Amino acid sequence: MKIGIDPVRPCSWGTVPLSDVRPVRSLKQKSRPCIDDTNAKPFIFPSAGDASTDDGFKAEKEMNNMANNRKTDMRRCDHVISIYSSFPSQNDIIRVNRAHPLSYGVMKEKYCEIACEAIKSQIDMTECPIKRIEVVFVWYEVRKFARDPDNIQGGDKFIMDALVEAGVIEDDSLIQVAGIRNHFVVVDGKSVDDRSVRVGIKEVAPL
């Protein structure tokens, strides 16, 4: 019996979502209002309890600190980009890599193009390339479809590559990128299409 690899449904270890291996379709950004996360709650461990107990009070205080840190990080940024798209998780990337040698290239092209379109439409490219930056990601996850934080931030690879491709920075090595911060916010929504990410860029002194 001969064993072959189907690029869509590969082997016994799992399947690849069809959206990740099909040709890229229209990548036009959806028109949505600017994200208002004033009342949104950041990611917090579900066992935190309520504020009426000592442990609950500490958890509530920690949650407020996380929200303040997120907002402070974004206020420090010189440029802020909103991308209304759900990016693949780290697990999605691993599955696609296992499926077929060319599948990851198709995925990368798709999501880099989505990010590039948002970057070029929201940043004054006449000021680029920027010599060195810090990057802040705020990932907005739909409550019903929330993923693991370490999985979510796997999508930052596509956005960092898009910053290079768009010409915001010349390279995404430590020479041009001083650091990366990730924040997570749980929001209400009806589908995974309601996920989004805000990307803050802070210009810092070059090495």
For residues 110-137, give the mean pLDDT: 94
Positive or negative, the Cα torsion across 40, 46, 49, 54? negative
Percent of the chain with pLDDT over 90: 54
Cα 101 to Cα 121: distance, rounded to the nearest angstrom: 32
Closest CA to 51 of 42, 63, 41: 63
Pairing type for strands 133-142 and 177-187 reads: parallel
Res 180: pLDDT: 93
Indicate the SS3 state at residue 80: strand
Res 45: pLDDT: 40
Strands (E), the chain: 41-42, 79-83, 133-142, 177-187, 196-203
Closest CA to 164 of 195, 135, 207: 135
pLDDT at 187 over 70: yes
DSSP 153: G
- pLDDT band at residue 3, thresholds of 50, 70 and 90? very low
Pairing type for strands 177-187 and 41-42 reads: antiparallel
Tally of CB atoms within 10 A around 115: 26
pLDDT single digits (tens) 170-183: 999 999 999 999 99
pLDDT at 34 over 90: no
Query: For the structural domain made of 53-203, what CATH number should be given?
Result: 3.30.1330.70
- ∠ CA 159-164-165, rounded to 5°: 90
Cα 104 to Cα 167: distance, rounded to the nearest angstrom: 22
Q: Where are the domains of the chain?
A: 53-203
pLDDT single digits (tens) 12-32: 444 445 444 444 444 455 555
Res 161: pLDDT: 96
- Can you give the pTM of this predicted structure? 0.69
- Which pair of tokens denotes residue 23? 């040709």
Res 40: pLDDT: 54
Pairing type for strands 133-142 and 79-83 reads: unpaired
27-36, 128-137, 194-203: least confidently modelled range: 27-36
pLDDT at 4 over 50: no
Closest CA to 142 of 86, 62, 74: 86
Peptide bond into 129 cis (omega under 30): yes
Res 8: pLDDT: 45
Please answer whether residues 18 and 8 qualify as being in contact, where contact means their C-beta atoms are separated by less than 8 angstroms: yes
Res 70: pLDDT: 83
